[in-house]
Amino acid sequence: MDYRDAQTGTTKDYFWFEAKDGLIEVLFGKVKGQGPLKILNLGAGTGRDIEIVRRFGQVYVVDIDPRALDLIPDELVVEKKAVDARSLPYPDGFFDRVAAFDVLEHIEKDEEAIREIRRVLKKGGSFIFTVPAFPFLYSAHDKALDHFRRYDRRALEGQLSGFDLIETGYWVCSLFPLIAAFRLLKRNDPAPKVGLLPLPRAVDRLFFYLLKAENRLIEKGVHLPFGVTLYGICRKP
């Protein structure tokens, strides 16, 4: 969950965040490793991602905002540092995995962050990420969350040319028409506003189970044709 989402009062059991936990677990499960892995989690958010990531190894977390780091219990991580992702305070080849879940879109010069990610990864180490998909959906919601962009799949794959690409794909396919229509309606709103609407419990649970089904498909290797989120796994040669 983004730090700014938490500030709006969105609860952790909102369908999107609960289903995203499952997606993160699926993506990490595709690149399991041997022994105690060192994992760098870029972007602390509210620390929710870390509860999943730590099942796969020892977690180091960095975020440019110290307030976000303050939300993370010390016992969940090896260390937490307030730093810019474009200048990571770690030696070359230090980590087995780097995770960045909805982070790159917050970085103006994201190509510099990608170079740093590649630098701190061990040879054969994996970079696992999610980003918002489709530039035409950029709206007041993105502005409120301080997003510099949404991503085109092919262009992002080009930015990752220094890696061996294992898999990219879309998530939130089943709800794409509904979310896309809402975002397009709000695209020209003068005031940035986080576009997460409170939902009746029955609707929230329906949406959650739709995304849970998508997670299962992704786990089985099915590639969805489109979605609100773009995910990827790539490996340092």
38 HSE (CA, 13 A, CB side) = 12
Average pLDDT, the chain: 91
Residue 13's pLDDT is 81
Query: What is the pTM for the complete model shown?
Result: 0.92
Pair 157, 165: CB distance under 8 Å: yes
Q: Which CATH superfamily is domain 3-235 in?
A: Vaccinia Virus protein VP39 (3.40.50.150)
What does the alpha-carbon distance between residue 19 and residue 1 come to, in Å, rounded to a whole number? 11
What does the alpha-carbon distance between residue 208 and residue 144 come to, in Å, rounded to a whole number? 24
Q: Where do the domains of the chain lie?
A: 3-235
Q: How many CB atoms lie within 10 A of CB 188?
A: 8
Residue 1's pLDDT is 47
- Local confidence band at 198 (pLDDT 50, 70, 90 cut-offs): confident
Residue keyed to tokens 């609707």: 203
The pLDDT tens digits of the residues spanning 16-60 come to 999 999 999 999 999 987 778 999 999 977 788 898 999 999 999
Residue 47's pLDDT is 81
Q: Which amino acid is at 230?
A: L
Angle between helices 201-219 and 15-29 (to 10 degrees): 10
What does the alpha-carbon distance between residue 237 and residue 126 come to, in Å, rounded to a whole number? 10
The pLDDT tens digits of the residues spanning 153-166 come to 999 999 999 999 99
For residues 116-141, give the mean pLDDT: 96
Q: Which of 7-11, 44-48, 93-97 reaches the highest mean pLDDT? A: 93-97
What does the alpha-carbon distance between residue 202 and residue 1 come to, in Å, rounded to a whole number? 22
